[in-house]
Amino acid sequence: MCATAALTLSGEYTLADQPVIFVLNGPNLNLLGTREPEIYGTDTLDDIAGHLDDRARAAGAVIDFRQSNHEGHLIDWLHEAQAVGAKAVLLNAAGYTHTSIAILDAIKAITVPVFEVHLSDPHQRENFRHLSYVGMAAKAIFAGHGAKSYELALDVALQL
C-alpha cells in the first residue's frame, strides 16, 4: 500500500502507511452534546471522533476527522480525499444533505466510496428531510442509530 498523508486528531499531518478514512461533518454538528439532545443525543463531536479513532486504530486505519459550517469546505475535503487516496469518506452533511446539489456533484466526481451518516433518521422527521442529495451518490446510508451510525459506517468502510 502507498503511504498517504493524513491529518491526525491533534491537527498535524503525518505520513501514514495505513488506510485513511475521512470523516466529514457539516453545519451545526459542532454543537452536538447541547443541540437538541432529544434528537441528536448527548455525545459531542469530540466524543464521536475519539470512538472512531480508537476503532480505526484497532483495525490498522487512520481517521481524518473534520467539521465545517461551510458547504465549500465539505466539497474541497471530498476532492482532497480523492487526491490523497483515502479509502473511504463518512459524510454527515447535516442540513446540506437535503439542499446541496454541489455536494452531490462532488461525490459523483470522485471515485472514493462515500457513506452517508446521520445521528437521527431523516425519514422519521420533517418531510423536507426525506430528500437526500448525498444519498443519491452514496454507497450506503447509516441513520437513526445516534453516534453508533458513525461506527456502523466505519465498520463497513474498513471492510473495503
Q: Where are the domains of the chain?
A: 4-158
Choose the catalytic residue: 13, 70, 118, 150. 118
pTM of the entire predicted model: 0.86
pLDDT of residue 7: 58
pLDDT of residue 136: 95
145 in catalytic set: no
Per the DSSP assignment, residues forming a β-bridge with 92 are 25
Residues 31, 133: Cα–Cα separation, whole Å:
23
118 in catalytic set: yes
117-154 residue pLDDT tens: 999 886 667 786 678 899 999 999 999 999 999 999 99
Q: Which of 89, 95, 92, 132 is nearest to 110 (CA)?
A: 89
pLDDT of residue 127: 82
Residues 69, 86: Cα–Cα separation, whole Å:
22
pLDDT of residue 16: 57
Choose the catalytic residue: 40, 96, 133, 150. 40
Residues 5, 32: Cα–Cα separation, whole Å:
28
Pick out the chain residues at pLDDT < 50. Answer: 1-4, 13, 15
For 106, the grid coordinates are 462532488
For 29, the grid coordinates are 454538528
pLDDT of residue 64: 98
The dihedral built from the CA positions of residue 145, 27, 92 and 14, taken in this order, carries a sign that is negative
Cell 451510525 maps to which residue?
A: 149
Residues 60, 158: Cα–Cα separation, whole Å:
9
pLDDT of residue 49: 97
User: How is residue 87 annotated by DSSP?
Assistant: S
- Homologous superfamily (CATH) of 4-158 is Dehydroquinase, class II (3.40.50.9100)
